[in-house]
Chains A and B, each alone.
Chain A
Amino acid sequence: MAFAAIGSNSTQTEQVPRRRSKVAIILLLPGLAYLALFFLTPLVSLVMTSLQTPVEFGDVGQYQAAFQIENYAIVVGAYWPHFLRAFGYALAATFFALVISYPLAYFIGVKARRWPLLQALMLTLVIAPFFISFLLRTLAWKQLMSDDSGLVSALKTLTILPADGHLTGTAFSVIFGLTYNFLPFMTLPIYTTLERLDTRYLEAGADLYASPFTTFWRVTVPLSMPGVVSGTLLTFIPASGDYINASASFLGSAQTQMVGNVIESQFISLLNYPQASALSVLLMGLILLIVALYVKRSGTEDLL
């Protein structure tokens, strides 16, 4: 092309954003100040607090600035199973959410296109849990899975569950709760990418001798990857830091405590701020590491 070197005129001028950085600074400054004050500074506070030591002969909850790096060794020694549980449960929940969401999102986004009203209705149902209290819907599952519920007695009659078995307070119920609660975060991004999927690609696949399954695997799945990546992130990150589902007053028990539960109780009940902070710093660091590796592996950096 003769003009490739010069480039198309109209796109060039449209794509180059205006460079009036003064206006940009005015627009950005309040938001940046907010983030600096209430996001970055708290992270610094967290790191500082995580290194504090108790005030000698002080009250409970009184700490002083120090460089007590041992706090980290102490929390890792004491709570590594909680980290494992947090990431294990979150991973399992992400997997199950993907298994439930993908076909659902595919049906709504691709198959239901011919019926816009059905599509809108199904989409509304997918986001319906957003509209009802997170805590109440988790409690609802707790009641539905309680020992004297019909579900448990049915499972016991079918001997799937032993006579002295429980559903609540187990790893199963915690993963179940996490899966349920973060399901919309998985379904919506996948739906968004599939909804934009041009069905002519599928026709082209069929035209080029691919079976429906091959077309799905070679065309649809790769094209929906951005949605899958953001869906898995939006599920995994909050699930690994959650402390509601695993708490004993909801779907968990003392045996299912995740790191979020430890942070919550150390901070709020035990007033052990340094340990809670050290756990928070570790949790955030690990999650950022996992996210960075995952994003890098899936090759969707531009997605963020």
Chain B
Amino acid sequence: MKLSLGKWLLPLYSALALIFIMIPIAYTFVFSFNASVKSNIVWVGFTLDNWINVCQAQGVCAAFGTSLLVGAVATVIATVLGTAMAIALVRFKFRGRSTVSLLLFLPMATPEVVLGAGLAAQFLSAGVPKGLGTIIIAHALFCLSFVVVTVKARVASLDPALEEAGRDLYGSSAQVFMKITLPLLMPGIIAAALLSFALSFDDFIITRFNNGSVETFPVFVYTAAAKGMPPEANVIASAVFLFALILVVVSQLTSAARRKRLAQVS
């Protein structure tokens, strides 16, 4: 009796935890089909209208577009700067290496509200008007540390002999970097870029301090939360969720297939 309970307890607990995780996601998804008029709180009836005419709710598509733009630009900045730093941190020994590591750790140990307030205070004292630019600066800042951590792991797992082999086979430093180092780091860099984009796309806490009058998607949701949420917001969130989910599932399946293929050959 005791044995069978112990055997079932952990899977059951895990299943319940996963169901718990999925509850608000399912709720958001279901309410994207709600035929509500003003606020999307009470279930009125099923409709596909919200999905077909997403942009009919005022400002929602514009906010979504702004979020995509901010996410893309901030990701590019953070990925380029962060990848260079990660390579330098793993591959070179220099004075002050631990100081640089600490400097990269600090933004992650700083609550977002402090990061947001700090940037806002600086923009205020420097007289920089808040807008798209300040949002992008803020987003690239908090993404940078995550990029460094992610890419660093990949650089550390890269066999230095591969780069040596490249030099041995008549590749100049630039050629070795472009033909060997960069392609081999690519999976880590892509993972870091996706993470940055996700972080940027969903950020509200820092954005709130630096957006001025520019409306990103989370800002739109925050404003709408007070005056009534249009179901189109749920549509956008659900669509983004489904898109990301498909991306994850496809990449999981292709890597599983590749593993299988490799296993068969060897």
Contacts and interface: CB of A to CB of B under 8 A. Distances in A.
Are A and B in contact, CB atoms below 8 Å, in the complex?
A: yes
Contacts of A35: 103-104, 107, 141, 144
- A contact face: mostly helix, strand, loop, or mixed: helix
Interface in A110-133: 111, 116-117, 120, 122, 124-133
Interface string B79-117: 011101101111111110000111111111111111101
Nearest to B226: A249
Interface stretch (B49-57, B185-193, B214-222): B214-222
B256 interface: yes
B93 A263 contact: no
B118 A120 contact: no
Interface string B216-250: 01100110011001000110011011001100110
B24 A144 contact: yes
The size class of the interface chain A forms with chain B is: 35 or more
A283 B205 contact: no
A24 B202 CA distance: 33
B21 A129 contact: yes
B188 to A, nearest CB: 15
A133 B256 contact: no
A27 B87 contact: yes
Contact of A107 (B14, B95, B113, B117): B14
B135 interface: no
A158 to B, nearest CB: 19
Contacts of A276: 117
Q: How large is the interface on B (under 10, 10 to 19, 20 to 34, 35 or more residues)?
A: 35 or more
B76 interface: no
B107 A134 contact: no
B249 to A, nearest CB: 7
A137 interface: yes
Most buried by A among B20, B114, B160: B114
A263 B226 CA distance: 20
Contacts of B198: 130-131
A125 B238 CA distance: 15
21 contacts: A18-B92, A24-B92, A31-B81, A39-B115, A49-B124, A101-B17, A104-B13, A129-B21, A131-B245, A132-B241, A133-B218, A135-B218, A137-B28, A140-B24, A141-B24, A143-B27, A180-B20, A183-B21, A241-B112, A250-B225, A260-B205
Given A104-B14, A183-B21, 13 more contacts: A17-B93, A20-B92, A24-B91, A28-B88, A31-B144, A39-B115, A132-B25, A134-B202, A134-B204, A144-B23, A260-B113, A267-B209, A287-B110
